[in-house]
Amino acid sequence: MTERTAVVTGGASGIGLAIARRLASDGARVAIFDLNGAAAQSAAASIEEAGGKAIGLSVDVTDRPGIEAGLDEVRSRLGPTTILVNSAGITLDGPFLEMTQETWDRLLAINLTGTFDCCQAALPGMVEEGWGRIVNISSSSVHSGVARMVGYVAAKSGVVGLTKALALEFARYGITVNTIPPGFIDTPMLQEARERGLMSVEQQTERTPVGRIGRPEDIAGACAYLVSEDASYVTGQVIGVNGGRNT
Ligand code: NAP
């Protein structure tokens, strides 16, 4: 890992932050891309305080020129990006018949097109290096569906399709592309759903075979494996990390 530079989108919070910390502690140089530049910088500072190498940049995954500029800055400060983890995402919910075009477009723009743009911007550098790892964070809702979350589930299902097709196209360059669909992980996104009364931890824990809520570190552990040398024969896969909720 010490030779590697990783970009983690949405890396200032929740799952992305745990992944950024884990990859840095495994020795990678880490760049955190997040909408909130101050939060990205403070996440990077906390990684550096712990002995890792990290920078935080304000990058909106819906802004393609911004993504390109971010990758250029990473190249000059940390070296070429050969690991990309797409964790930036949002949820919006509501009855399907009341969903506006704007809500649908926003869900797709951040969750799906943002992932597409980051992959397309980072892949040429990985091809040049002859090695690469992409991990796209999707959602366990692609297995189960979720009522009143049509746009989110559709976007995340698109991420699974994007992952599988990219894996086939880039396998010959030493690049793997996989997706982790997390299920029920304790992050600010989940806390917000809790505060709005959309779900209860007790009820959801009961439905989870391992009998506990997931931790961001559970996803980070799976991601650390997928970006490692050990996982060079694992590509195009959907690696569920959900406490057995979806099998
Ligand atoms: P989170 O704590 O809200 O983290 C998401 C991060 O993405 C935030 O820092 C957010 O920034 C950032 N972000 C949002 N829009 C962005 C944009 N346009 N450009 C760059 N960054 C952007 O949520 P999380 O639970 O860790 O979620 C991480 C990923 O896991 C998401 O893709 C989510 O859909 C997926 N997921 C989570 C769960 C779960 O149980 N938690 C389950 C299934 C899937 P701001 O805070 O500034 O908006």
pLDDT digits (tens, 9 = 90+) for 112-122: 999 999 999 99
Question: What's the CA-to-centroid distance between 138 and ligand 1, angstroms?
Answer: 10
**Distance between CA atoms of residues 138 and 16, nearest Å:** 12
pLDDT digits (tens, 9 = 90+) for 220-237: 999 999 999 999 999 999
Question: What's the CA-to-centroid distance between 153 and ligand 1, angstroms?
Answer: 14
The answer on pLDDT for 1 being more than 90 is: no
Closest-lying ligand 1 atom to the alpha carbon of residue 184: 40
Closest-lying ligand 1 atom to the alpha carbon of residue 183: 42
pLDDT band at 199 (very low <50, low <70, confident <90, very high): confident
Mean pLDDT of 81-89: 98
Pick from 158, 162, 167, 177: which is nearest to 226 by CA? 177
Position 112 scores a pLDDT of 99
Mean pLDDT of 163-180: 98
Give me the sheet containing 175-180, strands edge to edge: 53-58, 29-34, 5-9, 83-86, 132-137, 175-180
The answer on pLDDT for 2 being more than 90 is: no
By most ligand atoms within 8 Å of CB, the mutation choice from 87, 207, 239 for ligand 1 is 87
Total residues found in the chain within this entry:
247
* 152 catalytic per annotation: yes
Active-site residue (options: 152, 173, 225, 233): 152
- The domains located in the chain, with CATH, are 5-231 (3.40.50.720)
The answer on pLDDT for 198 being more than 90 is: no
**Distance between CA atoms of residues 147 and 111, nearest Å:** 18
**Where would I find the H helices in the chain?**
14-25, 37-49, 64-78, 101-108, 114-129, 141-144, 150-170, 188-195, 201-206, 216-226
Question: What's the CA-to-centroid distance between 218 and ligand 1, angstroms?
Answer: 16
Position 151 scores a pLDDT of 98
pLDDT digits (tens, 9 = 90+) for 37-78: 999 999 999 999 999 999 999 999 999 999 999 999 999 999
Mean pLDDT of 71-98: 98
Pick from 45, 53, 57, 41: which is nearest to 9 by CA? 57
**Distance between CA atoms of residues 30 and 36, nearest Å:** 17
**Distance between CA atoms of residues 20 and 8, nearest Å:** 6
Rg, Å, the chain Cα set: 17
pLDDT digits (tens, 9 = 90+) for 178-193: 999 999 999 999 999 9
